Amino acid sequence: MHITVVADLKTTLGENPLWDADTQRIFWVDSLGRRLFRATADGQEIRAWDFPASIGSMALRHGGGAVVALRTGVFMLDFHTGALTRVVDPGHDRAHLTLNDGKVDRQGRFIFGSMVVDAAENRFAALYRLDTDLSLHRLRGGIGVSNGPCWSPDGCRFYFSDTHSNEMMVYDYVTAEGALSRGRPFVTLPCDGTGRLDGACVDAEGCVWSAHCGAGQIVRYQPDGTIDRVIQMPVRRVTSVAFGGAGLDILFVTSMAHGLQPDAVADHPLRGALFAVHGLGVTGMAEPRFAG
């Protein structure tokens, strides 16, 4: 196994790596920098799109372009012109909440969540489902920071983390309806400042790869929740993961250049870079496209 730097762009808050198997390109966002990036697997041909608000996540569309979750709502992005077309406004309190991590399920629906951006009491984020007819549905509430939505290979198990409570849940996923049932804890980490559950993905063997932000670790969990492997990254504040490359055997890892807390410990000079982990001996799965 070895780790390389794909692009050292010093993203303020790098997130949401996404491999496009059709064009063989890696996408990722700088959430607070309000930018979306695209590059080849080795970091060449970098292209960027700017947004008027922070971006939490994006997903590619069957019809071209992308669906993006911004602080101000969900939009369609035209890659050629950079134009944004509003799809829906979840009606969240923008003074205290912003939209965050999201992915597409096997049926082509966009699942995304919101997060609390300050310490205001009695304010909670939520998890949403955007259907292919562009109707919006609230799946659950009571969330601090939505992160790491991903599915088992058969699409019947849904994993989801609340970075605030440091707990990853697993649900039975009703594929016909896009509904959640029988939620139970999958992984719980102590809230002691050593690491926070952040972005995640599932490999072809059904194991969950989770970025532990603050600990600088990528952890592979077996379907029963036991730890299978731990990868120590060059930087502490790793944020999310995605498999890509021609053989879907490269794990791309995003990171943040600046800690979100004023007392955050100084990180490695490569903070904010996009990394690639090679030689893991496992492969991921191609991410579905939004069918709306």
- Mean pLDDT on 118-144: 89
Report whether 147 belongs to an annotated binding site: yes
Give the pLDDT of residue 268: 79
Report whether 118 belongs to an annotated binding site: yes
Concatenated DSSP letters of 232-251: E-SSS-EEEEEEESTTS-EE
- From the list 198, 203, 249, 267, the catalytic residue is 198
Show the domain range for 25. Answer: 2-278
Has 198 been annotated as catalytic?
yes
Is 184 a member of any domain? yes
Is 289 a member of any domain? no
For residues 151 and 147, what is the distance between their CA atoms, to the nearest angstrom?
Answer: 13
Is 288 a member of any domain? no
Helix runs in the chain, H state only: none
Task: Give the confidence band of 60 by pLDDT, cuts at 50, 70, 90.
Answer: very high
CATH number of the domain enclosing 124: 2.120.10.30
Tens-place pLDDT, residues 181-232: 999 999 999 988 779 999 999 999 999 999 999 999 999 999 999 999 999 9
Report whether 30 belongs to an annotated binding site: no
Is 30 a member of any domain? yes
Tens-place pLDDT, residues 262-280: 545 567 789 999 999 999 9
Total structural domains in the chain? 1
Report whether 121 belongs to an annotated binding site: no
Report whether 100 belongs to an annotated binding site: yes
Three-state SS for 7?
strand
